[in-house]
Chain A
Amino acid sequence: MSNKIITLLIILITFGGVISCGDEREILDSSTREPDITFAFDVMKIDMNLIDNLPVVAIIRSELGLKNVLIQIKKTDNNIIDYKTFTEFFNENSFSYAEKINYSADYQSIIITATDKLDRSISETLPLNITEVKEAPSIIFNPSSILYDEIEGGEMPETNFTVQSVAGLKSLEMFLVAESGQTQYGFPIDFPDKENEYTFNQQIMYKEGDKGFRVKATDIYGQVKIATLPVQYLTPTPPVVTITEDTIYADKDQTKIIPLQITSQRGIAEIKIYRIEDGIENLVHTIVRDDKPLKLNLTPEVTCTNATSKIKIVVSDVVNKSSEALITAIVNMYFTAHLEIGTHPLANGYSGYPNVYSLLSLKDFKTYPVDYAVENEANASNVDLKFYAFGGQAVLRMYSIDGGTGTKSNEFRGSSGKSVLDMPIQNATKVLKLVDFDFDNATAESITRDIPLSNIVSNTINPFNVGDVLAFKTASTSTSGGDRVGIMKILDNKQVNPSNVTARVITVSIKFPK
């Protein structure tokens, strides 16, 4: 009996356990509320001109639990696009849908359909209010360009332009464009009422150098349009002054005729002639022409003083446009613009660069060979300076004729073993390197006044370079006369013998007051 009872208990427990392994089915309560959908907005305003449109936001709730949520887009042609379906939810009782949709202009609404686990569905629609992409402002000038010719004259055309903006204008700026740059015209205009059109019509008095009128329009979306009205303002050329010589030579207080040819498209009104003395312009003549000729040949006379460095001619036309011409004046001075002098290897000439020697005559503004200088006293006294280049760097030096081997006289060799040491007269010319001396505007007066004789005492300048201005004082034995001061500017320095770096030719300009 007990055995049977135990066996029965085992069977009951065994089958009871098996029966209890049945699936647990979810009980779906149909009395729960249907899903509900709430949008964050009643109407979704989308502006396709903006990049920061808000997302579509909706909260979908289901008391029973969501099975799926379908997002659809309805288009203006009533077609419906299945956009997205959700079947998995973090919280099946409340689903937050938020998405920035890539909108199209023909989207009409967003439809959300929520279905719960009892397959009960509900749909809600979010209307879309879409603002389409709007073009940037347009600017139209009428006329499309302005041309004003001073010779023709007449009224300046009015500047007229119209700005149109589909979106609405925010601001407008105008600029006057000239050769010198761009400047704002007037003040920026704001459009608080977002006007769609603005018209400008005004006579702007353009002037010479103006190139255009620029307009910058900005709409409410920040779209910018810039347009420029081309402006051409034609002016006649200023008078043209033609001189026959760019340098005049005169003695002290000598009156010189200065031939001038003048032409003007508008008529010559006035000619002014200045004498530049020590850098100061002194008016010496004013010629007024009431007949306003278009062409004129003049031969005004100008008295050149010892301080005159230049003559300046200024010609004005009837609208006060002017031109000027400058003439260099060499008054009471010997002058050479370019003179070539050789260094010591060219002392007696160099076949590769003929007719240039290293001994300079200040009387003749000419160079001579050693053979010439050693020939007799007259020749010897006619050379004043010798030029030298030292070592591998070819450092330029200037020496007087005297000084013996101390001024390298033995290296200035002639034929038959002779050198400068053998010259019967050796001029003791003195030299000085000047600092900040204006060679180009130097006059006989300024040289005499500004370079004291007592300062020129050396027989050597070591070194000198291109651009330097050097003063010299002649020796009493020189054919150019004793104790006369002149200046020399070094213009160029070049090697003339490829195999000898010290064989060089130096180009100088010399002013030597009489």
Chain B
Amino acid sequence: MISLKNIIGKFAALIVFVLLNTGCDMPLQQNYDYESSVLDPHISATAWDFLQTKSDLFSIFTEAVEYAGLDNYYKQTERKYTFLVLNNTAMKLYMMDRFPGTNSITECDRDQVRDMLLYHIVDGEYSGYGQLPVEPMFVLTLLKGDQGLMTMLVRKNPWQADAGKIVINDTGSNGSSPMRLATTSNLLPVNGVIHIFENYSYYKK
């Protein structure tokens, strides 16, 4: 007959062994940086498809991309890019600054528009999800030469209102280039990352 006392003793020994063995190799708790995020940043479409769904916000930008012949970058899925997308406010500012008096992006110099748009496509994926540090780092835009220099960082301080947002050319990090803060950050289409801006970026020595 198995006594109840024996059974209890054996189960106690079993629990002790289980606790001991499952406790091994547990790492110490690591420092943790809070990363704010949208509930689901993934978009099951290309960057181009995303822009089409928001034509009220990006109509001038998409027209400019087509005018410059760069739409394939947004449509392809073979390579990941970081797309710095300009909303209509940003595009109007660009036209007013660089081509005052024009009413349509197609009235602007095509090469200049192309260069501006190439500056807004970064080779590689740079989102706030572990790919960008809080200090500015240089990235490669598709615009070659010194005019293509750009830095990026992500705001991580949870006490700041812009935590999680992407910053382009943080002040002093890239010559005299003006700093730009994304209005919407870290959208993840199938072909890279999208950050949305209300003003256009450019390099200034």
Contact = CB atoms under 8 A, between A and B. Distances in A.
Q: Do A and B come from one complex?
A: yes
B123 A10 contact: no
B100 interface: no
B17 A14 contact: yes
Given A54-B149, A57-B149, A96-B137, A21 B131 contact: no
Interface residues of B, number: 30
Interface in A1-29: 2-3, 6-7, 9-10, 13-14, 17-18, 20-21, 23-24
Interface string A28-61: 0000000000101110000000001011010101
A266 B21 CA distance: 122
Nearest to A91: B131
Contact of A17 (B13, B18, B138, B205): B18
B24 interface: yes
Interface in B11-49: 13-14, 17-18, 20-22, 24-25
Interface stretch (B55-63, B139-147, B164-172): B139-147
Given A17-B22, A41-B145, A54-B146, A94 B7 contact: no
A40 B145 CA distance: 7
B21 A18 contact: yes
B133 interface: yes
Interface in B107-130: 123-125, 130
B6 interface: yes
Given A38-B123, A96-B138, A90 B133 contact: yes
A503 to B, nearest CB: 81
Given A59-B124, A94-B131, A52 B21 contact: no
B17 A10 contact: yes
Interface majority SS (helix, strand, loop, mixed), chain A: mixed
B21 A14 contact: yes
B138 A55 contact: yes
B4 interface: no
Among A2, A38, A59, A61, the most chain B Cβ lie within 10 Å of the Cβ of A59
Given A40-B149, A41-B146, A96-B137, A3 B6 contact: yes
A59 B123 contact: yes
B10 interface: yes
B21 A17 contact: yes
B140 to A, nearest CB: 5
A10 B13 contact: yes
B161 interface: no
Nearest to B14: A10
Given A38-B140, A54-B149, A21 B25 contact: yes
A57 B144 CA distance: 12
Contacts of B22: 17
Interface in A209-262: none
Given A3-B2, A14-B14, A40 B140 contact: yes
Given A21-B24, A52-B175, A91-B131, A40 B17 contact: no
Contacts, number: 71
A98 interface: yes
Contacts of A96: 137-139
A10 B9 CA distance: 11
A90 B128 CA distance: 12
Given A2-B2, A54-B146, A90-B133, A59 B140 contact: yes
B124 A13 contact: no
Contact of A13 (B17, B25, B144, B205): B17
Nearest to B21: A17
Nearest to B23: A21
Contacts of A42: 144
Interface string A68-94: 000000000000000000000011001
Interface string A306-347: 000000000000000000000000000000000000000000
Among A7, A9, A55, A96, the most chain B Cβ lie within 10 Å of the Cβ of A96
Nearest to A16: B21
B189 interface: no
A94 B140 CA distance: 12
A57 B24 CA distance: 44
Contacts of A59: 123-124, 138-140
B148 interface: yes
Contacts of B124: 59, 61, 94
B10 A6 contact: yes
A38 B142 CA distance: 12
A40 B142 CA distance: 10
Among B20, B22, B125, B140, the most chain A Cβ lie within 10 Å of the Cβ of B140
Contacts of A54: 146, 149, 175
Contacts of B149: 40, 54, 57
B133 to A, nearest CB: 5
Interface in A81-113: 90-91, 94, 96-98
A13 B19 CA distance: 11
Contacts of A24: 25
B203 to A, nearest CB: 10
Nearest to B134: A90
Contact of A21 (B14, B21, B123): B21
Nearest to A59: B140
B132 to A, nearest CB: 8
A211 to B, nearest CB: 43
Nearest to B176: A52
Nearest to A7: B10
Contacts of A38: 123, 140
A17 B146 contact: no
B139 A52 contact: no
B138 to A, nearest CB: 4
A6 B6 CA distance: 11
A94 B6 CA distance: 60
A99 to B, nearest CB: 10
A57 B138 contact: yes
Contact of B18 (A6, A13, A55, A90): A13
Given A42-B144, A90-B137, 13 more contacts: A3-B2, A6-B10, A7-B10, A13-B14, A17-B21, A20-B21, A21-B24, A23-B25, A40-B138, A52-B205, A94-B131, A98-B137, A98-B138
Closest 8 CB pairs of A and B: A17-B21, A96-B137, A98-B138, A21-B24, A14-B17, A57-B138, A90-B133, A10-B14
Interface of A: 2-3, 6-7, 9-10, 13-14, 17-18, 20-21, 23-24, 38, 40-42, 52, 54-55, 57, 59, 61, 90-91, 94, 96-98
7 contacts: A2-B2, A9-B14, A17-B17, A23-B25, A41-B146, A52-B205, A91-B130
